[in-house]
């Protein structure tokens, strides 16, 4: 059972919320999406069910929060790489390599039910990928980059020539 109490009420609430989200992800990884209940989440987190319901109304809401946080974190990382010092080619290479690694490391982590749930249409309307690449998701060209062994495999020596 994690120690959740901190110095301020706001810190405490954030820590409890974070513990709920992470615990839910762990339980789904262990048991599968359809086997996770609010009772199991509360028990594993070390809080009462009433407390859990003060933070989240159901497992779906917790999962969507977890997914949103993961996507936002990935996009922040890619944006930092795009702004780092270096030539345009070096920055593009860094962004593409990082995205390819993110995609590769996430394969096989989700069971079919979880992947279908997380990637159904209604909550993707915010279009995270579209914000980053201006209109279309990067999955197609990232798959090509992965298959070719990174940006250098696709663009060869010219990847860094585009300018700086």
Task: Tell me how far apart the alpha carbons of residues 21 and 62 are, in angstroms, rounded to a whole number.
Answer: 6
What is the rounded average pLDDT of the residues 22-35?
Answer: 89
Ramachandran assignment for 107, one of left (phi > 0), alpha (psi -120 to 50 degrees), beta (any other)? beta
- For 130, the token pair is 């579209």
The confidence score (pLDDT) of residue 120 equals: 63
Among candidate residues 65, 44, 46, the one with its CA nearest the CA of residue 56: 65
- For 13, the token pair is 């609430």
The confidence score (pLDDT) of residue 48 equals: 95
Task: Tell me how far apart the alpha carbons of residues 74 and 72 are, in angstroms, rounded to a whole number.
Answer: 5
Check pLDDT > 90 for residue 23.
yes
Check pLDDT > 80 for residue 26.
yes
Grade residue 109 by pLDDT with cuts at 50, 70 and 90. Answer: low
Contact status, residue 35 vs residue 114, Cβ threshold 8 Å = no
pLDDT digits (tens, 9 = 90+) for 120-143: 654 444 444 434 443 344 555 455
Check pLDDT > 80 for residue 41.
yes
pLDDT digits (tens, 9 = 90+) for 45-93: 999 999 999 999 999 999 999 888 888 888 899 888 888 898 888 888 9
Task: Pick the more confident residue, 57 or 6.
Answer: 57
> What interhelical angle do 88-106 and 139-148 show, nearest 10?
90
What is the rounded average pLDDT of the residues 86-110?
Answer: 80
């Amino acid at each position: 059972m994690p120690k959740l109490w901190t110095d301020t009420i706001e810190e405490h609430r954030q820590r409890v919320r974070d513990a709920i989200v992470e615990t839910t992800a762990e339980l789904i990884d262990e048991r599968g999406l359809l086997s996770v209940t609010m009772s199991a989440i509360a028990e594993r987190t070390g809080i009462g069910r009433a407390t859990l319901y003060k933070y989240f109304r159901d497992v779906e809401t917790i999962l969507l929060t977890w997914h949103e946080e993961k996507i936002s974190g990935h996009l922040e990382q890619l944006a930092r790489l795009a702004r780092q010092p270096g030539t345009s080619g070096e920055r593009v290479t860094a962004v593409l390599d990082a995205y390819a690694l993110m995609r590769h490391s996430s394969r096989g982590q989700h069971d079919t039910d979880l992947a279908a749930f997380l990637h159904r249409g209604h909550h993707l309307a915010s279009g995270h990928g579209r914000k980053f690449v201006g209109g279309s998701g990067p999955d197609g060209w990232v798959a090509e980059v992965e298959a070719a062994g990174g940006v250098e495999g696709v663009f060869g020596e010219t990847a860094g020539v585009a300018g700086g």
